Every structure is written in C-alpha cells, then in structure tokens.
Amino acid sequence: MGQGPQIDRRALLAAGAALGLAPALPALAADQDARVRALLKQMTLDEKIGQTHQPAGGRQKALNSKIDATALDLVRKGGVGSYLHVAGAAFLRELQRTAVEESRLKIPLLFAIDVVHGFRTLYPVPLAMAATFDPEIVRATARMAAVETAVSGLHWTFAPMVDIARDPRWGRIVEGAGEDPYLGSVMAAAQVRGFQGQGLNAKDSILACAKHFGAYGAAAGGRDYDSAELSDRTLNEVYLPPFHAAAKAGAGTMMTAFNDLNGEPTTANAALVRGVLKTQWTWPGLVVSDWNAILELINHGVAETPVQAAALALKAGVDMDMASGVYAAHLKTAIAQDPSLLPLLDQAVARILTAKMRLGLFDDPYRFGDPEREKTIFVGPEHRAIAREAARKAVVLLKNDGGLLPIAPTTRKIAVIGALATDSLSQLGSWKARGQVGDVAPLLPALQATAPAGTEIVHVAGASPRSDDESGVPAAVAAAKAADLVLLMVGEDFDHSGESRSRSDLSLPGAQETLARAVLATGKPVVVLLPSGRPLVAPEVLEKAPAVLATWFLGVEAGPALADILFGKAAPGGRLPVGFPRATGQSPTYYAHVPTGRPADPDLAKDTVRYHDVDIGPLFPFGHGLSYAAFAYSDLALDRDSIAPTGAVKVSLTLANTGAVEADEVVQLYVRDPVAGVARPVKELRGFHRLTLKPGERRRVTFTLAAAQLAIWSPGGWRIEAGKVEVMVGSSSADIRLRGAFAIAAPGKGRDPAAAILTPVSVV
Ligand code: NOJ
C-alpha cells in the first residue's frame, strides 16, 4: 500500500508549493490603468470594435488552419482582439509579431484554447477530478496544464467549467464538478488558482475562464442548450456560487452560457451579467460570449437582426464576441443608431486591454511561448506523476462485497472483458486539446506489469459501447469461465458525454448489458470497471456484481492508476460528486432536496414523494465511496452552543483508521436548518477533507463553520435566521456517523453566497 515507488510525492508537493496560490483579481496599478485609458483615447471606433472580435484561428481538430493572408491583413488593421483554436510557440510568436509590429497601435493579441483537463498531458476529466475531493491535486493538475499551455504560446483557457449539473442526461456533466454547489465552489477556486498560478503576471500563468455563466447546467430535460427555468433562490444558492468562488479566487475571465434563463438568453441578460456579475459582485474581469452565441440571439427570438443582437449583447455586458463576427460586422451600425452604446463599448474594450495588461503582454508580447521548452516539456515525468496521482485519487469504489478487491495475490488467471479495456482514446476524455492517444499508458500492459509474476491475463472484447453486435459474447463467457477473476470493463466511451451529447437513456450503450449479464451468469467473481463521463444506470449489473469501480476517463496514466488500485498498491478514496440514480426517469435527483410535506416512505400504501416503480433515492448517493480500510468516527465536539450571525463554530471529530491498510478517507460535513422561513434542504455539504491514515492512526479534524454559511437567499440579500442548526459528519451524504447542533443567536445578513464560502479545515 502507500504511494508506490513510481510517484515522487515530495516532488509533487514541491511543485504545488513553488507554484503557489493566486490572489483575487487585483486592480491594475495606477500607471497601468493610465496606459489603458490613454490607449483607449487613441483608438478609432474600428480599432475598438476590433478588440472585441475573437475569430477562430482554426478548427478544434485543425488549429491555426484559418490564419491566412486575409486574416493577417485584418490583424494589421487592428481588427482582431483575440484568436481561439490556435497553438504552437513559433506560429503564435509570428502571429503576435504581426499584431505588435504591423498594426497602428501595436496592441498584442490574446490567444485562447479549451484546456479543460490538460493541454498535451491529459488528466482525468473534470467530473473525475471532482471525485478526488482533493482541491490540492485539482490545483496541481490545472497548474501543470497551464505550464504546457503557456509554453505553446497561449494566454487563455476556457476553463474551469463550473456549471452545477443535477441531471446526468446532460452530457456536459463530465466537464464540471457535479451536483453540489459547495464542492463546485471548492473545485472552481482550485482550478482558477492552478491556471493563474501566483498571479497573472507570473511565469506560466494563463487566464482562467469560469463558464458558462450562470445557469447552463440547468438545461431542461438535460438537453444541451435548452432553457433553464429556475427560481431566484435556486439560481443564487445552487448555480451561481461556483462562479462567485471563481471570481473570488481571481478568475480573469468568464463566459456567458448559450441558453436562456427564465426566457432571457444569458448573452443578452443585462440583469445577470452586467447586474450581478459586474456590478453586484464588482468583478473586474473580461466577459466573452460562447461560440456564435451573439448571432444566436436571433434564433432565441429576442433580436430580429444582427445589429440588434450586437446591441443587446453589448448592453448585457458581453465584452468579447466569440466566433459570430456580429460585433465586428454590426456594432458600428448599432452605435450609429444608438450613441449611448459607445460608452459601453469603451468599457468592454477597457476590460479587454486590462486583461492583456494583467498578463504583461504590453511589456513583453512574446512572454508566452517557448519553442525550445515546447520540445521537451510535454508529458514530462512530473506531469505524468501528477496525472497518475490524480487518476488514482479519482477512482471511486462503489461496491466491494466480500472484500473482492484488492485482487488476491493468489489469483492466477484474470480475464479482462470489454472493448473499453483497450480503448485508450477514451481515456483522453472529451476535451483533448493537444492530447495524443499514444501518450496514454494502456490498461492491459499495466495490469501485467503490476500483477504478481506468473499471473495470466487474457483479454476478450465481447461487446462494444458502439455496436449492438452480440456475436462476441460467447467467447467472453468462455474466457470468464476459464478465469479465476473477471475484470469487466463496461460503460461509456469518451464521445457519449460532452457538448451536445445528451442522452435520454443512461443504460450501458451497445451490447454491453447483454455481455455483462452473460458474464455475471457464469458465477465467477466479477469486478466491474465502469468508465463514464456521467452517472450510468445499470442497476441489474451493479447490484449483481460483487465489486464495482467508477473509473471515469482518467487521462494519460489511466492504465497504471487502475492497476495500482486493483492490485492494492493504492487504496481507492474517491467519492461520487453526483449520485447515481436507479433509473433514468428519476433524473434530476439530488441529495440536497427540500423535505416536502410528505417525505418519501418505503410504504407504498402511503402517498409520499417518490416513484411507485423504483426504490427511494439514488443507487449510490452523493459523497459515496468505499475503501480497502475502515474508518471510525468519534468524539464530535462543537466549541460553542451558540454563535452570533457574524460568528463561527468549530466542529471537531476524531477519525481513526481501523482497517489493515493505509488508505484515504473523505470526512464530510453537512448542515441543516430544521425550521426556517422557507423550507431548507435536508442536508447541505459545507466542508470536507480528504486525508491519508495508516492502520491504527487517528487524527482530530476541525472544521470552522461560519453562520454566514447558513444564509438563505432572499430578494433583500443573504438572510441569516436565528435558531437551531443541525450538524452532521460522515463518510457520504447517506452515511452520517456523528450528529450535533448549535444555535445562531440572532438574525443577521450575509454578504457572499453561502455555498461559496470555503470552510477552513485543520488536522492534528
Ligand atoms: C462552445 C462551448 O460551449 C464552450 O465551452 C467552449 O469554450 C467553446 N465552444 C470554444 O471551444
């Protein structure tokens, strides 16, 4: 057990320490601000509009392919502020040279790309990173991704994606941190700090972009791009907190969502973007639209012409137009028709120039991009070590009946079944940036290398997630019968989740369900490895199989990380960032629901809030994850019975590893306000901590919980109510081990969204 010889833990931590934390987005120094203002004064209207224009420099699979003579001419005229879908140190240096040497005002360009879970070294997909419940490893992967991105000449990533997703039919659930606003806030802040390093003018820092502001994840029916219909309370308490946390962590940019919220397309929603984000939160960063979203205001039916669309988006507070070209082509006409738009354009351009100033591009436009380092740094040993650590931490042990895992050293013959077991491409996940399938360390050789000498490992595909062909099932059954243990890898491939990959049926795709049933019917011990970008619904398989690991898409170190877990070189410690439903029709379902007047009851004779044809609640709840060790929780203590609305209470407990191996536990702190002016969720996560304990080791964990973290959103602001607060500590949202209570002595007011306030944790 332990970290294993391959990973230099100290190097990993040193990388983290040296790279430090970003401060909140600082205001520009007075002289820099003066430079921005002076530049703005020199700019023609065309040059101003040019800054808001972000065309695609290529396609996602053919970066730079659109930078031709016409494109360069536009750069020379000052007609471009930024490019997306470009890369390459030498190429971007030349493109930047055109801007800063051949355009009138020599304003540098911003180069952007989607680096969502890695640039060339791909790490686990974001949902898997959230499953680590470890903000430090999340920060470290974002940091290393930023290093590779910056070396390739890029300044800006469209990440983190911080949309809350409570409906697993929505394919983009893979890109975020799952269902919970507190977990989402922690992960948002960790990624921003990773991407932006010690500050935007520090070496290897890139601009982060929290997206897609503000309720993209609430798309109706889980259909990507569809409308969100939300109460103001749910918007403020659930969907906006991760954006607030990202803003507080210093995110330099944000992207507006494609969809509408209560009928108002976000890209035209002045109350939300200009009102909440820019004015109420006083966040000073740059807002970019999503791809073509300004033009799509016409499809939404809120603009008749591109001129109107341009005016609406500018009024809403969208500073930069990604890909639609509407600002470039039509803002001039819009301003001629309505001169009151001009000061809004100036504000947008000031934010864009400020972002460039923050990155230091006016002082050194070639600060990013290093053709020499670019040759050596990608997928280097340190990047791989972090990728492996992250992948091991992301795996969630959903079941382990009879202690089937880790694999007993006496196991002689293992049948690995399923086409996904050799699908290295899928391990790269949905946003690949510059990732290459050849970089993925595959599963089968890793198993062979990790298994005790003499173990025979055979692979039979049996069935694939992309085909209904069942002809391979008999061979798989034969291999299972001949083996001592079966590793059955069934689930989704990388292209089942991601943008526009909504599914109405979350069962195992292709002939995999048939394969799984047949293999389970052999009676052999079966470990299911379940790769996916979302919760899947396969109750029969998951209930019958004695052991199940949720393995997501784990990046370049997928194979070795899985082998480490399977053979017990590392103990699984990941937790579900979103519950796994029992049936697709249960979606959306989430642990932090309000109690209702008729709480769900197992007795079907009673009329309660449940389905008649499926058991209550999810199959695997939020926060769930087992271990190879066992952990005892004891001695809950609150340092006071009652706190002021401005105060905080320390919640302490003792955690002991009562198992036989070193392993990680994720201690989770939930709260409930049992009687309030409005119904409150039955449980809300307000703190967690992942820690490693040796057998017999015990630690005292203390959370400092503020009264403001119980605040309720109301039209007048964040309201803190007086009264009792219940505290629950446990190993998942459904496995509460300790309970306590305290009181908030008097009513008060909060300032920040309650779920966006991060809880300090100490361990002694
Ligand atoms: C559309 C996606 O919604 C967004 O997340 C992404 O950043 C842009 N395309 C650019 O690739």
pLDDT-based confidence at residue 450 (cuts at 50, 70, 90): very high
Residues ≥6 apart with Cβ < 8 Å to 686: 182, 669, 670, 671, 703, 705, 709, 755, 759
Q: Rounded to the nearest 5 degrees, what angle is found at the Cα of 256, between the Cα atoms of 45 and 433?
A: 100
Closest-lying ligand 1 atom to the alpha carbon of residue 159: 7
Nearest CA to ligand 1 atom 7: 158
Mean of pLDDT over the chain:
96
Q: Given this model, what pLDDT does residue 60 score? A: 84
Q: pLDDT of 655-664, one tens digit each?
A: 999 999 999 9
Q: Are 237 and 181 in contact (CB under 8 A)?
A: yes
**Catalytic annotation present for 290:** yes
Pocket test for ligand 1, best of 163, 255, 289 (most atoms within 8 A of CB): 255
Q: What is the CA radius of gyration of the chain?
A: 26
Average pLDDT over residues 557-586: 98
Q: pLDDT of 351-389, one tens digit each?
A: 999 999 999 999 999 999 999 999 999 999 999 999 999
Q: What percent of the chain has pLDDT over 90?
A: 95
The token pair that represents 666 in the structure block: 């994720």
Q: Are 157 and 208 in contact (CB under 8 A)?
A: yes
- Residue 103 C-alpha to ligand 1 middle, in angstroms? 29
Q: 667 pairs with which residues across the strands?
A: 689
**Does 23 score more than 60 pLDDT?**
no
Closest-lying ligand 1 atom to the alpha carbon of residue 212: 5
Closest-lying ligand 1 atom to the alpha carbon of residue 158: 7
717-720 and 712-714 beta bridge pairing: antiparallel
pLDDT-based confidence at residue 16 (cuts at 50, 70, 90): very low
Q: Which domains does the chain have, with CATH numbers?
A: 19-373 (3.20.20.300), 387-580 (3.40.50.1700), 631-763 (2.60.40.10)
Nearest CA to ligand 1 atom 9: 291
pLDDT-based confidence at residue 14 (cuts at 50, 70, 90): very low
Average pLDDT over residues 27-46: 97
The token pair that represents 526 in the structure block: 């079966």
Residue 649's CB is within 10 A of a number of other CB atoms, namely 21
Q: pLDDT of 225-239, one tens digit each?
A: 999 999 999 999 999
Residues touching ligand 1 (Cβ under 6 Å) are 84, 114, 158, 211, 290-291, 499
- Distance (Å, rounded) from C-alpha 248 to C-alpha 237? 16
Pocket test for ligand 1, best of 499, 500, 501, 502 (most atoms within 8 A of CB): 499
Q: pLDDT of 721-734, one tens digit each?
A: 999 999 999 999 99
Pocket test for ligand 1, best of 291, 321, 322, 497 (most atoms within 8 A of CB): 291
CA dihedral of residues 717, 718, 724, 726 (deg, nearest 10): 140
Average pLDDT over residues 304-325: 98
Nearest CA to ligand 1 atom 4: 290
Q: pLDDT of 241-276, one tens digit each?
A: 999 999 999 999 999 999 999 999 999 999 999 999
**Does 69 score more than 90 pLDDT?**
yes
Q: Given this model, what pLDDT does residue 488 score? A: 98
Q: Given this model, what pLDDT does residue 9 score? A: 43
- Residue 211 C-alpha to ligand 1 middle, in angstroms? 9
Quick one: which of 395, 389, 370 has its CA closest to 121? 389
Pocket test for ligand 1, best of 163, 175, 322, 501 (most atoms within 8 A of CB): 322
Q: Given this model, what pLDDT does residue 538 score? A: 96
Order of strands, sheet of 631-638, starting from the edge strand that comes earlier in the sequence: 631-638, 648-657, 698-706, 761-763
Closest-lying ligand 1 atom to the alpha carbon of residue 216: 3
Which of 114, 134, 204, 290 is an active site residue?
A: 290
CA distances from 496 to 157, 401, 441, 466, 657 (A): 23, 29, 22, 10, 38
Q: Are 49 and 328 in contact (CB under 8 A)?
A: yes
Q: What percent of the chain has pLDDT over 70?
A: 97
CA distances from 763 to 130, 530, 653, 688 (A): 21, 33, 10, 12
pLDDT-based confidence at residue 26 (cuts at 50, 70, 90): confident
Q: Are 352 and 286 in contact (CB under 8 A)?
A: yes
Q: pLDDT of 676-702, one tens digit each?
A: 999 999 999 999 999 999 999 999 999
First-to-last C-alpha distance (Å) of the chain:
23
Q: Which of 10-19, 20-29, 206-215, 419-428 has the lowest mean pLDDT?
A: 10-19
Nearest CA to ligand 1 atom 3: 290
- Residue 685 C-alpha to ligand 1 middle, in angstroms? 29
- Residue 321 C-alpha to ligand 1 middle, in angstroms? 12
Q: Given this model, what pLDDT does residue 751 score? A: 95
Residues ≥6 apart with Cβ < 8 Å to 677: 712, 719, 721
**Does 501 score more than 70 pLDDT?**
yes
- Residue 159 C-alpha to ligand 1 middle, in angstroms? 9
| Secondary element (H or E) of residue 700 | strand 698-706
- Distance (Å, rounded) from C-alpha 267 to C-alpha 269? 6
Closest-lying ligand 1 atom to the alpha carbon of residue 85: 11
**Does 83 score more than 60 pLDDT?**
yes
- Residue 290 C-alpha to ligand 1 middle, in angstroms? 6
- Residue 82 C-alpha to ligand 1 middle, in angstroms? 15
Q: pLDDT of 146-170, one tens digit each?
A: 999 999 999 999 999 999 999 999 9
- Distance (Å, rounded) from C-alpha 120 to C-alpha 148? 7
- The answer to whether the pTM exceeds 0.85 is yes
Nearest CA to ligand 1 atom 1: 291
pLDDT-based confidence at residue 12 (cuts at 50, 70, 90): very low
3-state secondary structure at position 650: strand
